[in-house]
Structure 1
Amino acid sequence: MSITNATTQESLVQYPSPYKVVDGNLCMEVTEKHSKYDRKLSNFTPYIKSELTVDDGATETKVLRLAGQHANGETLPEIEVSGKDFPSFNWLFEKWGAKCILEVGKNIREHLRYAIQQTAENAEQQFIYQQTGWKKINGEWCYLLPGDSKFNVSLKGKLESYCGEQTFSKSDLETVYSMTKTPPAPKDVILVLLAFAFLTPLIEFLRQAQCMPKFVLNIIGSTGTRKSTLAALFLCFFGIFNAGNLPMSFRDTSNSIIQNAFALKDVLTCIDDFHPCGRDDERKLTSTMQALVRAYGDRTGRGRLRKDSSAMESRPPLGNAIITSEFPPDIGESGTARYFLLELKDGDVNLDILSSFQQYAEQGVFRRVMLGYTEWIRKKFLQEDKIEKEFINMLKDSFSAYRSDFIQTGISCHGRVPEMAAELRIGIKMFLWFLEEHEVITEYAANILDSEFKEILYQLAKRQSENIQSDKPSVVFVKKLYALIESGAVAVTHKDLSLGEDPYPRNFIGFEDEHYLYLNKDIAYRHVKVLCNEQGENFSLTSKALLKTLAEDGLIKTSQGSNTVSVRYAGKNSRYMALDKFKAEQIVNGT
Structure 2
Amino acid sequence: MAENIAFTNLLAETLNNMTTGEAAAAMAKAKLGPKYLPLCPFDHKDVSQQHIEDCDKPGKVPLLAKWPDKASDDPSVLNRWFIQRSNLNLGMTLGRRVGVIGFDIDGEYGRNKVEQLFNGCLPPTWEFSTPGGGARLLFSVPKGPPLQKLADTNPHADHEELALLADGQMTVIPPSRHQNGGQYLWLPGRGPGDISLAELPAEILKKMRSSKVSGTSSEDFKEMPDSDLRKLADRCHVVREAVTEQVAGGCSEERWHEIISMLVRAGYPSTALTFSQMSKKHDGHSEKRIRQMESAGDSATYGQTRCSTFGCDAEQIAHCHGSVRKSQRTGEISNSPAALLLSSAARTASTKRMTLASFTKLLSKRYSLNNSNLCQVRVNKDGSSDHFPLANFVARITKTITRDDGAERTTLYEIDGAIISPERKLPAIQVLANDFDSMKWVSMWGPEPNILPGNQIKDTVRHAIQSTAAGAPSERIFAHLGWVKIDGIWRYLHAGGALGLSNIKVELDDRLQNYVLPSFPVNPKEAMKSSLNLLGVAPLRVTLVLWSLVYLTPLCEMLRQMQLEPKFLVWLSGHTGTRKTSLAMLFLSHFGDLLQHPPASFKDTANSVEKRAFDTKDSLLLIDDFHPTASPKDKRDMEQVAQKMLRGYGDRIARGRMRQDTSLRKDFIPRGTGLATAEDMVSGGSSAARLVSSELLKDDVDLDKLTKAQREAGKLSEAMSGYLEWVGQAMNAPLSSRLKDLFFEKRNEAASLGVHGRLVDASALLYMGLISGLEYAESVGAITPDQKVQLLEKAWRVFLNAASEQGDKVTEVKPSTRFVTIVSQLLANKSIHCNSVNREPIPETVPKGSTHVGWHDDNYYYFLPELIYNELSQFLSKRGEQFPVSSETLWKELADAGLSRPEVSKQKNGRERRHTLAKKTIKSERPRLLWVKRDALHEKVEKETKNKAREELRSGTDDCDELDLLGEP
Q: When the two structures are superposed, what TM-score results if normalisation uses the length of structure 1?
A: 0.90
* Residue 344 of structure 1: how far off its partner (Å): 2.0
User: What SS class does the counterpart of residue 825 from structure 2 fall into?
Assistant: helix
Higher RCO, Cα 8 Å, sep 6+: 1
Q: Which residue of 2 aligns with 1:466?
A: 808
**Equivalent-residue separation in structure 2 for 1:485 and 1:163 (angstroms):** 58
Query: Which residue identity is paired with 2:527?
Result: D
Residue of structure 2 equivalent to 1:172: 527
Task: Find the counterpart in structure 2 of residue 81 from structure 1.
Answer: 431
| CA apart distance, 1:531 | 0.3
| Structure 1 position 199, deviation (Å) | 0.7
Conserved? CA contact 2:405–2:479, under 8 Å = yes
Is the alpha carbon distance of 1:320 and 1:7 closer, same or farther for their aligned partners in structure 2, counting shifts above 3 Å? closer
State the shift of 1:75 in Å: 3.5
Instruction: Tell me the distance in 1 between the aligned counterparts of 2:879 and 2:923.
Output: 35
C-alpha displacement of 1:345: 2.9
- Say if 2:577 is the partner of 1:235: no
Distance in structure 2 (CA, Å) of the matches to 1:478 and 1:164: 52
Residue 476 (structure 1) aligned with residue 823 (structure 2): no
Shift of 1:448: 0.3
Q: 21-30 vs 466-475, which deviates more?
A: 21-30
1:349 aligned onto 2:693 = no
The answer on whether the counterparts of 2:495 and 2:512 sit within 8 Å (CA) in structure 1 is no
Unaligned stretches of 5+ residues in structure 1: none
Instruction: Give 2:644's aligned amino acid.
Output: A
One-letter code aligned to 2:474: Q
Question: What letter corresponds to residue 102 of structure 1 in structure 2?
Answer: I
Q: Verify the 8 A CA contact 1:567 1:573 in the aligned structure 2.
A: yes
State the distance in 1 between where 2:612 and 2:388 align. Answer: 48
* Structure ID, larger Rg: 2
Which of 403, 406, 413 pairs up with 2:755? Answer: 413
- Following superposition, the deviation at residue 419 of structure 1 comes to 1.0
1:531-546 equivalences under 5 Å are 531-546=875-890
Residue 394, structure 1, aligned to residue 760, structure 2 = no
Distance of 2:677 and 2:374 partners within structure 1: 57
Matches within 5 A, 1:364-443: 365-379=715-729, 381-384=730-733, 387-388=734-735, 390=736, 393-408=737-752, 410=753, 412-443=754-785
Q: For 2:648, what is the secondary structure of its paired residue? A: helix
Distance 1:277 1:88 in 2: 51
Cα deviation code 1:19-72 (max 9, x no counterpart): 344587544444468654544433333222221122221232321122233344
Aligned partner (choices 367, 377, 381) of residue 19 of structure 1? 367
State the alpha-carbon separation in 2 of the partners of residues 224 and 536 from structure 1.
26
CA distance in 2: counterparts of 1:498 and 1:304, whole angstroms:
59
Partner amino acid, structure 2, of 1:447: V
Which is worse superposed, 60-69 or 421-430?
Answer: 60-69
1:158 aligns with 2:499: no
675, 688, 694: which is aligned to 1:322?
675
* Letter of the structure 1 residue corresponding to residue 718 of structure 2: R
Matches within 5 A, 1:568-587: 568-586=921-939
CA distance in 2, matches of 1:578, 1:8: 87
In structure 2, do the counterparts of structure 1 residues 353 and 68 end up closer, same or farther at CA, with 3 Å as the change threshold? farther
Counterparts of 1:107-506 in structure 2, within 5 Å, are: 107-148=456-497, 149-168=502-521, 169-170=523-524, 171-180=526-535, 183-243=536-596, 245-275=597-627, 276-330=629-683, 332-361=684-713, 363=714, 365-379=715-729, 381-384=730-733, 387-388=734-735, 390=736, 393-408=737-752, 410=753, 412-497=754-839
Instruction: Output the aligned Cα RMSD.
Output: 2.6
Task: Check the 8 A contact 1:338/1:416 in 2, yes or no.
Answer: yes
1:264–1:7 Cα change, 3 Å: closer
Which amino acid letter does the alignment assign opposite residue 10 of structure 1? L
Aligned length: 576
Question: Contact (CA 8 Å) 1:555, 1:583: kept in 2 or not?
Answer: yes
Contact 1:482 1:588 in 2 (8 A): no
| Offset, 1:468 | 1.3
Q: Is the 8 A contact 2:609 2:641 kept in 1?
A: no
How far is 1:186 from its partner? Answer: 2.5
d(CA) in 1 for partners of 2:585, 2:372: 53
Amino acid at match of 2:572: I
Asked whether the 8 Å contact 1:216–1:339 carries over to 2, the reply is yes
- Give the conservation status (yes or no) of the 8 Å contact 2:625–2:677: yes
Question: CA separation in 2, counterparts of 1:12 and 1:570?
Answer: 101
Once residues 830 and 461 of structure 2 are traced to their aligned partners in structure 1, the CA distance between those partners, rounded to angstroms, is 82
Q: Is the 8 A contact 1:133 1:201 kept in 2?
A: yes
CA distance in 1: counterparts of 2:480 and 2:777, whole angstroms: 28
Most deviating of 158-167 and 195-204: 158-167
Identify if the C-alpha distance between structure 1 residues 460 and 108 changes in structure 2 by more than 3 Å, giving closer, same or farther. Answer: same
Task: Work out the CA distance in 1 between the residues paired with 2:655 and 2:599.
Answer: 20
Quote the Cα distance in structure 2 between the aligned partners of 1:479 and 1:349: 35
> Would the alpha carbon gap of residues 102 and 493 (structure 1) be closer, same or farther in structure 2, given more than 3 Å must change?
same
Show CA shifts across 1:429-469 (max 9, x none).
11111111222212211010001111111222222112212
Q: Whole-Å Cα distance in 2 between the matches of residues 202 and 426 of structure 1?
A: 9
Aligned twin of 1:41: 390
Cα distance in structure 2, aligned partners of 1:79 and 1:347 = 55
The Cα shift of 1:501 comes to: 6.4
Partner SS, residue 362 of structure 2: coil
Q: Is the Cα–Cα contact under 8 Å of residues 50 and 65 in structure 1 kept in the other structure?
A: yes
In structure 2, what residue type is equivalent to 1:155?
L
Aligned equivalents of 1:28 and 1:473: distance in 2? 75
> Structure 1, residues 118-169: CA drift from partner, whole Å, max 9, x if none?
3323322211111221122222211122212342222133222222221123
Task: State the AA in 2 paired with 1:414.
Answer: H
Give the Å deviation of 1:200.
Answer: 0.8
Q: Deviations over 1:194-238 (max 9, x none)?
A: 111111111112112112111111112233332222222222222
Q: Is the 8 A contact 1:209 1:395 kept in 2?
A: no
Q: Describe the superposition over 1:397-450 as per-residue Cα deviations: whole angstroms up to 9, x where unpaired.
A: 222111111112x3x422211011111111111111111122221221101000
Superposed displacement of residue 590, structure 1: 6.5
| In 1, Cα distance between equivalents of 2:620 and 2:408 | 23
Secondary structure of 1:47's match? strand
Task: For 1:101 and 1:356, locate their aligned partners in 2 and report how far apart those are by CA, in whole Å.
Answer: 63
Tell which deviates more after alignment, 231-240 or 467-476: 231-240
Give the corresponding residue for 1:104. Answer: 453
CA distance in 2, matches of 1:89, 1:201: 44
Alignment of 1:90-101 (within 5 A): 90-93=440-443, 95-101=444-450
Structure 1 residues 510 and 174, CA gap change in structure 2 (3 angstroms): same
Match among 549, 552, 573 for residue 893 of structure 2: 549
Percentage of matched positions with identical amino acids: 31
2:481 is aligned with what amino acid? T
Describe the shift of the 1:458–1:544 C-alpha distance in structure 2 as closer, same or farther (beyond 3 A): same
Q: For structure 2, which runs of at least 5 residues remain unmatched after alignment?
A: 1-268, 271-290, 296-351, 905-913, 945-969
